[in-house]
């Protein structure tokens, strides 16, 4: 992109009263965590398509993630999933990550893989199974201590397929009991991020079906428990940005799992099907940053931005790069909203002017801005091209097929 293109963009934004210095600083500060499982083989309910070169262990997952960070500068941490990423020595894994300029991010317990969990984990009618599940949660708290991780990200597959299959109220209580025990074991610097999903794999009911249930549970547990919003975990047509704004105002928004969906929990590349939704989510977050309430400001300053997606047919590392670039693009567009203009229209009850004030920021081509920022940071102007020309994809092909065992 030429200097002339950026000069035109700069002139446009200055005329609109946008402080580009502030915009550039926020774009450089954005960090998005990538998931270890996004680098490994994944698939649908029908088949896992194994690819050449996928990581064979947790250490290789960090090596792949380091390549993503090298070309984007956006993703210096990796969330791990236990037991998918279980190792004998977490100090060694942490040292390996740090040697690559990376860090271990959120710890994700796995409570859906064991045969015993077919009818539930922490909500199972069998107390021995509930004990096993709770012990795994406590194990993950200890792993977080060893890795220096702040966040424990919880998603439960627990639910039922048929009316009468389980006692819904008892299951609610068992969930609370397990998370209370986990909460008490956490260090003061840790956070519990409670995710929800309105269906699947429980098709009659899931025990944490929506943000309200997750919010209620977090409220009962205490201030170290917050809600995690997965952009694919809602019914069709749900206004996700409304949920975001509500949780910010309640000071309970802890983080995101960004992905894209068309029908259900598709876990596609972020921004692939509805980039405007992603833009509007960031718009609500940035609007909250204009508040004077210290609690709200602390909430938005500590949001964990994480990607959660499954690359079933696409190459893993390029898909992760594409998601990050899409996030950066929509964040950049949201930074161009003139909030004074929006508020003036809102106060005047001018519906069209208010909508226009938001939408026109979305319609700007921000590529000149993003290229200029990358160049200032010593990053390639075109991260995808830089990765594909690096030779790394060809190098890891020597790993063969198979990947890390789940």
Q: Rounded to whole angstroms, how far apart are CA atoms 42 and 33? A: 19
| Residue 140 lies inside a defined structural domain of this protein | yes
| Residue 258 lies inside a defined structural domain of this protein | yes
What integer pLDDT is reported at residue 405 of this predicted model? 55
CB 189 within 8 A of CB 156: no
**What are the C-alpha distances in Å from 264 to residues 199, 236, 272, 385?**
9, 8, 14, 31
**pTM for the full predicted model:** 0.96
In the chain, % of residues over pLDDT 70: 99
| Residue 126 lies inside a defined structural domain of this protein | yes
Per-residue pLDDT, averaged over 295-305, amounts to 98
Instruction: Tell me the average pLDDT of the chain.
Output: 96
| Residue 406 lies inside a defined structural domain of this protein | no
Residues whose CB is less than 8 angstroms from the CB of residue 365 and which lie 6 or more positions away in sequence, other chains included: 9
| Residue 377 lies inside a defined structural domain of this protein | no
Residues whose CB is less than 8 angstroms from the CB of residue 378 and which lie 6 or more positions away in sequence, other chains included: none
Q: Is there a cis peptide before residue 190, judged by omega within 30 degrees of 0?
A: no
Strands (DSSP E) contained in 239-299 are: 253-258
Q: Which residue, 267, 278, 273, is CA-closest to 200?
A: 267
pLDDT over 70 (residue 268): yes
Q: Rounded to whole angstroms, how far apart are CA atoms 64 and 36? A: 9
pLDDT over 90 (residue 1): no
| Residue 373 lies inside a defined structural domain of this protein | no
| Residue 375 lies inside a defined structural domain of this protein | no
The tens digit of pLDDT for each residue in 181-191 reads 999 999 999 99
What integer pLDDT is reported at residue 85 of this predicted model? 97
| Residue 68 lies inside a defined structural domain of this protein | yes
Residues whose CB is less than 8 angstroms from the CB of residue 290 and which lie 6 or more positions away in sequence, other chains included: 339
Structural domain span for residue 172: 30-337
What integer pLDDT is reported at residue 47 of this predicted model? 83
117 DSSP assignment: G
Assign residue 109 the CATH number of its domain: 3.20.20.150
Number of domains observed in the structure of the chain: 1
């Amino acid at each position: 992109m030429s200097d002339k293109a950026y000069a035109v963009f700069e002139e446009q934004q200055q005329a609109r009263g946008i402080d580009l210095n502030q915009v550039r600083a926020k774009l450089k500060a954005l960090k998005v965590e990538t998931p270890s499982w996004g680098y490994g083989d994944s698939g649908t309910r029908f088949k896992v398509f194994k690819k050449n070169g996928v990581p064979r262990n947790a250490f290789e997952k960090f090596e792949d993630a380091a390549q993503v960070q090298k070309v984007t500068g956006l993703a210096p941490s990796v969330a791990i999933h236990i037991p998918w990423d279980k190792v004998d020595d977490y100090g060694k894994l942490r040292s390996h990550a740090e040697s690559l300029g990376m860090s271990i991010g959120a710890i994700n317990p796995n409570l859906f893989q064991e045969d015993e969990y077919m009818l539930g984990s922490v909500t199972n009618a069998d107390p021995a199974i509930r004990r096993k599940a709770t012990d795994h949660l406590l194990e993950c708290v200890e792993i977080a201590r060893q890795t220096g991780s702040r966040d424990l990200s919880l998603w439960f597959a627990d639910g039922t397929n048929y009316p009468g299959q389980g006692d819904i109220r008892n299951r609610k209580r068992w969930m609370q009991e397990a998370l209370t025990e986990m909460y008490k074991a956490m260090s003061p610097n840790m956070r519990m991020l409670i995710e929800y999903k309105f269906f699947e794999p429980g098709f009659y009911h899931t025990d944490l079906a929506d943000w309200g249930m997750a919010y209620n549970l977090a409220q009962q547990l205490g201030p170290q428990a917050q809600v995690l919003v997965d952009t694919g975990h809602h019914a069709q047509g749900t206004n996700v940005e409304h949920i975001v704004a509500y949780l910010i105002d309640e000071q309970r928004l802890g983080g995101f799992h960004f992905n894209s969906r068309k029908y259900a929990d598709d876990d596609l590349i972020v921004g692939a099907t509805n980039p405007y939704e992603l833009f509007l989510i960031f718009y609500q977050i940035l609007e909250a940053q204009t508040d004077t309430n210290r609690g709200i400001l602390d909430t938005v300053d500590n949001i964990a931005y994480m990607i959660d997606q499954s690359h079933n047919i696409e190459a893993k590392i390029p898909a992760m790069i594409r998601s990050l670039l899409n996030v950066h693009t929509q964040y950049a567009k949201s930074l161009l909203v003139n909030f004074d203009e929006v508020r003036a229209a809102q106060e005047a009850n001018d519906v069209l002017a208010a909508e226009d004030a938001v939408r026109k920021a979305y319609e700007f081509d921000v590529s000149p801005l993003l290229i200029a920022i990358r160049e200032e940071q010593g990053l390639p102007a075109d991260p995808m091209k830089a990765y594909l020309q690096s030779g790394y994809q060809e190098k890891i092909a020597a790993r063969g097929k198979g990947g890390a065992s789940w």
